[in-house]
Amino acid sequence: MSYAKLTREQIAQRIAQDIPEGTYVNLGIGMPTLVANYLPRDREILLHSENGILGMGPAPAAGQADMDLINAGKEPVTLLTGGAYFHHTDSFAMMRGGHLDICVMGAFQVAAGGDLANWHTGAKDAIPAVGGAMDLAVGAKNVWVMMEHLTKSGESKIVARCTYPLTGIGVVKRIYTDLAVIDVTPRGLVASRLVPGLSFDELQRVTGVPLLPSGARAAA
C-alpha cells in the first residue's frame, strides 16, 4: 500500500493541535517555528523566546518591524497584550528551572532512550554553535522533537545510539516525524498516528530501533 509523508506544515499542525490550553511553550529555531502558525486560536498558549519574551506574537505587519523586538532566530516579532520582557538570565531560569511546559526542537538524531543530538554534526570543519539547545533539553518539562523520520539518504534518524554529538541524555519525550508520532516511554518507543496507508510493519522496517504499536491510530 502506498502512503504520503506529511509535509513540514502538516507535522506542525499535528504538534499545534497537541499543545494544551494554558501552557508555556518554546519553539526552537528552524522547522519548529512553523508550529506557531497553527496554534488553535481558541487556546491561550504563551510562547517563550530565549532572548527575554513571554507572550510572543506573530511577525509584524509590513513596515512595522521593530529591531528591539526580535525572536531567537533574530527575526522581528510582536508582543501579545499581557506579554512580558525580562533579561536573559531570567529567561534561561525559566528554561533551566523547569517552568516551560513544552519545547519543540529539531534534531539530527534521537536515540531510543531519549538522547538528543541536534546542535552539531561533529564535522571537523563545522563551526560549533549551541545557543540555548542544551538548556532547553534539560529544562523543559516536555521535550518534543520535530523532524523527518529519515535522512536524505534514507537512514533512520531514530537510532539505538546517537552518532552525532549529544545535546542531552534521556531528555526527549515525544518525536513527531513525517511518518508517525513516537513516544519515548519506559516500555520503549511507542508509535502512533501513522500516516494513512503506512503499516506498522513498514514503519518498523524503516526505523532503526524496535517500535511498539500503540492501540490508538487516530487520523492526522
Q: Which residues are catalytic?
A: 50
Please name the residue that has the C-alpha cell 521535550.
143
Binding mask 5-44 for another protein (x = CB under 8 A): ----------------------------------------
Is there binding between residue 59 and another protein (CB under 8 A)? no
Side chain identity at residue 99, one-letter code? H
| 184 lies in the site for another protein, by CB under 8 A | no
46 and 55 in contact (C-beta within 8 Å)? yes
Binding to another protein by CB under 8 A, coded x per residue (else -) over 75-104, reads ----x-----xxxxx-xxx-xx--------
Q: Coil, strand, or helix at residue 18?
A: helix
- How far apart are CB 35 and another protein at their closest, in Å? 20
- Annotate 115-175 with DSSP letters as a single string: -EE-S----TTSPP--TTHHHHHHHSSEEEEE--SB-TTS-BSEESS--SPPSBSS-EEEE
User: In the complex, which residues of this chain contact another protein (CB under 8 A)?
Assistant: 49-53, 66-70, 74, 79, 85-89, 91-93, 95-96, 120, 125, 127-135, 137-139, 165-169
